[in-house]
């Protein structure tokens, strides 16, 4: 589990084919690695990977075919910069939002323009993710917790403030670039809860958790 608050920027040292999938080696600051242990989880551009070996300023992780098929990792070359975050500790503050590190899809940056001291990005998500996006809701882009400023179908706007530009790789994004997207996990659970009960005990009974109930309590805007 992660928060979407990036701790440091790493760099891909190598991407090696291994037994049908990939072994990824990432270089980073020694201070980031100071408390990393074998088997720890690290989000690499939003992808949760398990540390299989490490040194003072690097770590390696295996990338399964499932992950390869749903991310941009297969296109990464030596030297590409990546956002890094270690797994959340129970004693830590949840400064971003709940991020699982399981990428839902690859999106595309369709526009970039200055917005005061910030950068405004327009990102297009695949159509099947549209129902999980909401204006002023949370979304993870390349591992970074961000707020959806505006929503137009499956296209949404983001403001990248100066601090985020300085501490992440998002400042490098331009129109045409592919990005990892993870929607808010709460939206997924809400979808599941709103489905009709399927167990035998509640079969035939209509769930009270519907759009009218949510709208009445301020959780849904028709």
Q: Using alpha carbons, list the distances in angstroms from residue 18 to 9, 24, 62, 65, 82.
A: 25, 10, 9, 11, 21
Is the distance from CB of 81 to CB of 172 less than 8 angstroms? Answer: yes
Q: What is the pTM of this model?
A: 0.85
Cβ burial of 1 (10 Å; 0-12, 13-18, 19+) is middle
| Predicted local confidence at residue 93, as pLDDT | 75
> 74 CB contacts (<8 Å, ≥6 apart)?
22, 68
| Predicted local confidence at residue 186, as pLDDT | 85
Q: Domains of the chain by range and CATH?
A: 8-86 (2.40.30.20), 105-184 (2.40.30.20), 185-222 (no CATH)
Structure tokens at 113: 């323009």
Beta carbons within 10 angstroms of residue 191's beta carbon: 11
| Predicted local confidence at residue 200, as pLDDT | 45
> 161 CB contacts (<8 Å, ≥6 apart)?
117, 118
| Predicted local confidence at residue 216, as pLDDT | 76
Query: What are the tens digits of pLDDT across the range 129-159?
Result: 999 999 999 999 999 999 999 999 999 999 9
| Predicted local confidence at residue 123, as pLDDT | 98
Residues (pLDDT < 70) of the chain are 196-209, 219-222
For 188, list phi and psi in degrees, rounded to 5.
-65, -45
For 94, list phi and psi in degrees, rounded to 5.
-90, 80
| Predicted local confidence at residue 67, as pLDDT | 95
């Amino acid at each position: 589990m992660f928060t979407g608050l990036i701790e440091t920027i790493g760099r891909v040292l190598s991407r090696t084919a291994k037994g049908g999938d990939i072994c990824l080696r990432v270089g980073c600051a020694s201070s980031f690695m100071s408390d990393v242990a074998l088997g720890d989880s690290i989000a690499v551009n939003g992808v949760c990977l398990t540390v299989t070996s490490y040194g003072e300023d690097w770590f390696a992780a295996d990338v399964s075919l499932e992950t390869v098929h749903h991310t941009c990792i297969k296109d990464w070359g030596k030297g590409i910069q990546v956002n890094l975050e270690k797994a959340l500790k129970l004693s830590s503050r949840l400064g971003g939002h709940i991020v699982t590190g399981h990428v839902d899809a690859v999106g595309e940056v369709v526009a970039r323009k200055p917005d005061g001291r910030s950068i405004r990005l327009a990102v297009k998500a695949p159509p099947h993710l549209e129902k999980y996006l909401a204006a002023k809701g949370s979304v993870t882009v390349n591992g970074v917790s961000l707020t959806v400023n505006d929503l137009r179908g499956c296209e949404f706007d983001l403001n990248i403030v100066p601090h985020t530009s300085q501490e992440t790789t998002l400042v490098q994004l331009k129109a045409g670039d592919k990005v990892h997207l993870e929607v808010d996990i709460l939206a997924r659970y809400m979808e599941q809860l709103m489905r009709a009960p399927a167990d035998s005990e509640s079969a035939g009974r209509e769930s009270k958790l519907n759009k009218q109930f949510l709208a009445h309590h301020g959780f849904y805007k028709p």
